[in-house]
Structure 1
Amino acid sequence: MRFRPCIDIHQGKVKQIVGETLQADASKVIENFVSERDAAYYASLYREDGLTGGHIIMLGGGNRDAALSALRAYPGGLQIGGGITAENAAEYLGAGASHVIVTSYVFRDGQLHLDNLRRIASEAGKERLVLDLSCKERDGKWYVVTNQWTTFSDLEVNERTVRELEQYCDEFLIHAVDVEGKREGVQEKLAAKLAEWARIPATYAGGARSIGDLARFRELTGGKLDITIGSALDIFGGTLPYREVVDYCNPPLPR
């Protein structure tokens, strides 16, 4: 299990928000934290700490310049998602992203569009593509949600779909949207199932708020999944020390 850092950008600023409140009306978005520091600052911090595989998420429009500044600050060290398509993937990869993360381009109108998935896998390269399977629970099952996590798709996240989709990508990123940004603990059942299903690297996000939560997550997943933490961290206005998380999940290699 590794800690994967994040940089969420909304309206050009680094923020931590309650994911399920994302919508066209920006006045209804619940913000947990708005940073006075820019995206490049966080990218430089992660670079200095040797953290790899973190991600930048552009939440809506107006975030391109901030995202590119972060990529320049840590070339090859961060993935990027939010509005990624087959047409613009090369731009972000060329700007320094290790991978591009795709959601809505593949899940449109509530359905999985395999032609778009194949197209972006061809353009970016399977080895540089992360598929976002961020999901919400409905009737005891999990379904991929799109359009800034406001629209249910018809794709259930289960063993069959995970195994089918992993042939097109290098990694999965899964936000448990029901608990994302709420600091209420991880979605234990989902985390355990993802560890059972996924055979490629996968990163879970949502709800972690303490070292105890990380220990429980490691126990549930057998260390097979990585984890990202946002609003609970002290660098994003929370109470969980970033340095403790780094030391717990990514201890320095012995000399």
Structure 2
Amino acid sequence: MTKFRPCIDLHNGQVKQIVGGTLSDDGAGLKENFVAEASAEEFAQRYREDGLGGGHVIQLGPGNREAALGALGAWPGGMQLGGGVTIENAESWLEAGASQVIVTSWLFDGDGVFRMDRLKELSEAIGRERLVVDLSCRRTERGWTVAMNRWQTLTDVEVNEASLDRMAEYCAEYLVHAADVEGLCGGVDLELVELLGSWGKIPMTYAGGVGVMDDVLAVDRHSGGKLDLTVGSALDIFGGSGVEYEALVNWNRRE
């Protein structure tokens, strides 16, 4: 059964909703859908009060450490932490209150070549159950290709049954942003949803493109209930109008 998992996306220390494909190192062309007045800590406290576990705090670039620590402190053990995670700092984020750490770019070299040795090393260091692998991807002629460095750099990993099988031995969950539709509220990538749902061997969270409640229903239906999902720019608490936060809280409470 598909569940809603909340998110806190941090950019320059603020909670924001950003069109994923516009992120870059120099900030040129960045498109922001929403910038919150409330702090990351306040959002985490609200999720805690509403019993929305399994969500994630994502640091989109530098300047987000204090905000991330505030969110984790507001709900110790209640949210995952991603963004800039390496083997050197993973344990410190867990000690700061992250339920799990989410890792992407560190698993690849500078050319985007996957390093299985790094995945094994990190899994052994912190424990498989505390590791989430981010397979956020872009659609390419080969299917879906994992992208790193804030979705700017394509890697040599395709999202398919073989790659999902290969990494699942060393992590507890996958997080998959469909970067091409992230922040656009124009509908989810149902082909990707179906691919992930048909595999469905460990917990997974899908993000990208949810615009209305029907998209939530579509993820549940097309994944066979195997995928959880997060909702960003369409959500009313993030300035959107397509999906009501309370509707998702009630969705999670259904039997």
Give the structure-1-normalised TM-score: 0.97
Residue 46 of structure 2 is aligned to residue 45 of structure 1: yes
Equivalent in the alignment of 1:151? 153
State the alpha-carbon separation in 2 of the partners of residues 8 and 124 from structure 1.
Answer: 24
Question: 2:218 is matched with which residue: 216, 219, 234?
Answer: 216
Question: 1:165 is matched with which residue: 141, 145, 167?
Answer: 167
**Residue 185 of structure 1 contacts residue 207 of structure 1 at CA under 8 Å; is this kept in 2?**
yes
Q: Does the residue aligned with 1:136 lie in a helix, a strand or coil?
A: strand
Q: Which amino acid aligns with 2:204?
A: A
User: What displacement does 1:62 show?
Assistant: 0.8
User: What displacement does 1:118 show?
Assistant: 1.2
Equivalent in the alignment of 2:55? 54
Q: Which amino acid aligns with 2:68?
A: A
Residue 5 of structure 2 is aligned to residue 4 of structure 1: yes
Q: Which amino acid aligns with 2:61?
A: G
Residue 243 of structure 2 is aligned to residue 243 of structure 1: no
Question: 1:228 is matched with which residue: 227, 230, 248?
Answer: 230
Can you give the 5+ residue segments of structure 2 that lack an aligned partner in the other structure? none
* Root-mean-square deviation over aligned CA pairs: 1.0
Equivalent in the alignment of 2:74? 73
User: What displacement does 1:27 show?
Assistant: 3.6
State the alpha-carbon separation in 1 of the partners of residues 108 and 174 from structure 2.
Answer: 15
User: What displacement does 1:216 show?
Assistant: 1.4
Q: Which moved more, 1:114-123 or 1:219-228?
A: 114-123
Q: Which amino acid aligns with 1:181?
A: G
State the alpha-carbon separation in 2 of the partners of residues 41 and 124 from structure 1.
Answer: 28
User: What displacement does 1:252 show?
Assistant: 5.7
Give matches, 1:198-217, under 5 Å.
Answer: 198-217=200-219
Q: Which moved more, 1:26-35 or 1:164-173?
A: 26-35
State the alpha-carbon separation in 1 of the partners of residues 20 and 46 from structure 2.
Answer: 24
Spell out structure 1 runs of 4+ moving beyond 3 A.
Answer: none
State the alpha-carbon separation in 2 of the partners of residues 102 and 225 from structure 1.
Answer: 19
State the alpha-carbon separation in 1 of the partners of residues 142 and 128 from structure 2.
Answer: 31
User: What displacement does 1:82 show?
Assistant: 0.2
User: What displacement does 1:140 show?
Assistant: 4.7
**Residue 162 of structure 1 contacts residue 198 of structure 1 at CA under 8 Å; is this kept in 2?**
no
